Structure 1
Amino acid sequence: MSDAIPTDEFPIFLGSEIEQAAAEKAAFHVLPVPYENTVSYGGGTRYGPSSILKASWQLEQWDGKSKPCAQGIHTCEPVDCQQSPGEVIEAIAEATQKIVEAGAMPVVLGGEHTVTLGVVKGLINAGITDFGLVQVDAHADLRDAFEGDPLSHASVMRRIVNLDIPLLQLGIRAFCEEEIEARDRYGVRYLDADDLVPQRIQQIEIPEDFPKKVFFTLDIDGMDPSVFPSTGTPVPGGLDWYQTLNLFESVASQREIIGFDIMEFAPIEGFHAYDFAASLLTYKLMGLVERSETAKA
């Protein structure tokens, strides 16, 4: 994989603090995917990746507990999203496959949640088939199609379970009867927001028969709008900042994280605090991965 060429729109992650790590020497490959094709309410997710990258220049190397960047961070060229939906998904899959084959962890910045389907296909194409997906989200995304589109962001988890990928959902609080039926049909595990949030649950126990490798997908709307109103379909009653980090750490302590993504961030012009928060969240998750791997070594 060749070195990415940073641009004003898509600068390298944490570029004010570190040099771009060579692809073959970086533990983390940040992949921007500014894809937005299906919108249910508000838009703007195509601007999420560039906003996160720009805001990362305000981060410190020290994340509060360690320096994840010491493992090497390589920012990839953004995926070309000016194609048909199917072509975009295949381009995401190809980029993800290259990251895995380079021995790195994909850190994918979306874009609408459909992006995760391309990432999952890329993992499979790279020969990783024995993994599960842990999803933080306000929505189940298990409709077979939404507004006639099977590649809608509201159908992405249906497409993924159709690939026989086990799914564990956290923080869901908006779903329809079709999605409840899909949970039963595909054996989807879940801890919904009405349990997680009022009880302020910080740690979960992953079912013993859930795969040992996990890809973690985080839809920004899984967190409460008081933390992130910057998303197209905010739903009250979501996870807070520390609960989200603690749940991720809980998963990482029990399973091998093989990658993660941040989806559905839609920046609000003039409110850069949310851009910074999304960027810090990305870096915090890198740190949690790094420290969990060190603890298991």
Structure 2
Amino acid sequence: MTEPHDDYPIFLGSEIEQPEMNNAFFHVLPVPFEKSVSYGGGTAQGPSAILQASWQLEEWDGKSKPCQHGIYTHPAIDCNVSAEQVIDNIAKATKLILDNGGMPIVFGGEHTVTYGVIKGFRDAGYDDFGVVQIDAHADLREAYEGDKLSHASVMKRVVDLGIPLYQLGIRAFCEEEMQIREQHGVHFQDGEELVPNNIQSITLPDDFPEKIFFTLDIDGMDPSVFPSTGTPVPGGLGWYQTLNLFESVAKQRTIIGFDIMEFAPIKDFHAYDFAASLLTYKMMGIVERNSSKVK
């Protein structure tokens, strides 16, 4: 890992100072990894853009001050190594956060990053948890262009570990992915159901795990909200719908961490950088207000 610097300032650094690691509940981990993107690029710049834009946020998110529980920004993961080593580095950093009693908030990079985070949870002894995914794509291919560590295969790696999965907003998938959904018992409410019907909440199955890791691919939201992604697909979720769906999960279960993936900044369009940063902070606020585990 590299130390924070101008490209990777601490989250909300205009308002707060970096606390001691053990005194923070929220732990931000930047992972500027981009190897297997299949259309537009730029996701490696996503973590830095979100962190820089966070300096324009207010402490008050409209309902509370999530930062009062401490936000510790970790050094960025070194991604100038093999994909396998990056995954291992992410897992180690995630385990460190969990071992210190924190909640990982991870910024990618391409969606492959999530696999490293999930491995970190497993390495830290988390055996019974589920994943809820907002995305335009199912990411359930066994491999994409021969690569099993592709962003298009990350959720297949997750279900291969036996982790229950609930997908939201999907609107681009292949026949193979439909078969894998059936084989692994993947739960889903796709974009064609959620968006036209303006569904703002979901009810998780009774047997879905109590602990939830939430992964949010920016392309799960509509390109009218976030064109700043490499693989935009029309018909996505809106701003408030996304937050409301996240909160509906937080009200039913315990969120143990979340990530923001596939954000690709557009030069000189700072609105999207700020929106990604604000989305993160509002999700922190939802966690804070719905969890008894926040310090």
Question: Which 5+ residue runs of structure 2 have no aligned equivalent?
Answer: none
Q: Which amino acid aligns with 2:200?
A: Q
Distance of 1:39 and 1:20 partners within structure 2 = 33
Shift of 1:6: 2.8
Q: Which amino acid aligns with 1:100?
A: L
Cross-structure match for 1:143: 141
Cross-structure match for 2:101: 103
Cross-structure match for 2:31: 33
Cross-structure match for 1:48: 46
Cross-structure match for 2:212: 214
Cross-structure match for 1:192: 190
What is the DSSP-based 3-state SS (H/G/I as helix, E as strand, rest coil) of the residue aligned with 1:154?
coil
Distance of 1:189 and 1:6 partners within structure 2 = 39
Distance of 1:195 and 1:294 partners within structure 2 = 32
Distance of 1:229 and 1:281 partners within structure 2 = 15
Distance of 1:214 and 1:37 partners within structure 2 = 27
* 1:8-67: CA deviation from partner (whole Å, max 9, x where unpaired): 010000000001111101000000000000011000000000000000000000000000
Shift of 1:293: 1.2
What is the DSSP-based 3-state SS (H/G/I as helix, E as strand, rest coil) of the residue aligned with 2:104?
strand
Cross-structure match for 1:230: 228
Q: Of the candidates 106, 112, 122, which is equivalent to residue 110 of structure 2?
A: 112
CA distance 1:105–1:148, change in 2 (3 Å): same
Cross-structure match for 1:169: 167
Cross-structure match for 1:76: 74
Q: Contact 2:135/2:168 (CA < 8 Å) preserved in 1?
A: yes
Distance of 2:276 and 2:146 partners within structure 1 = 31
Q: Of the candidates 261, 267, 275, which is equivalent to residue 263 of structure 1?
A: 261
Distance of 1:203 and 1:181 partners within structure 2 = 26
Shift of 1:294: 4.7
Q: Which amino acid aligns with 1:19?
A: E
Q: Which amino acid aligns with 1:17?
A: E
Cross-structure match for 1:126: 124
CA distance 1:117–1:295, change in 2 (3 Å): closer
Q: Which amino acid aligns with 1:238?
A: G
CA distance 1:295–1:7, change in 2 (3 Å): closer
What is the DSSP-based 3-state SS (H/G/I as helix, E as strand, rest coil) of the residue aligned with 1:54?
helix
Q: Which amino acid aligns with 1:30?
A: V
Distance of 1:20 and 1:295 partners within structure 2 = 21
Aligned-CA RMSD value: 1.4
* 1:81-139: CA deviation from partner (whole Å, max 9, x where unpaired): 00100000000000000000000000000000000000000000000110000000000
Q: Of the candidates 21, 24, 38, which is equivalent to residue 22 of structure 2?
A: 24
Q: Give 4+ residue runs of structure 1 displaced > 3 Å after superposition.
A: 294-297
Cross-structure match for 1:242: 240
Cross-structure match for 1:87: 85
Distance of 2:212 and 2:91 partners within structure 1 = 17
CA distance 1:296–1:86, change in 2 (3 Å): closer
Q: Contact 2:69/2:294 (CA < 8 Å) preserved in 1?
A: no
What is the DSSP-based 3-state SS (H/G/I as helix, E as strand, rest coil) of the residue aligned with 2:115?
helix
Q: Contact 2:14/2:55 (CA < 8 Å) preserved in 1?
A: yes
Question: Which 5+ residue runs of structure 1 have no aligned equivalent?
Answer: none
Q: Contact 2:25/2:294 (CA < 8 Å) preserved in 1?
A: no
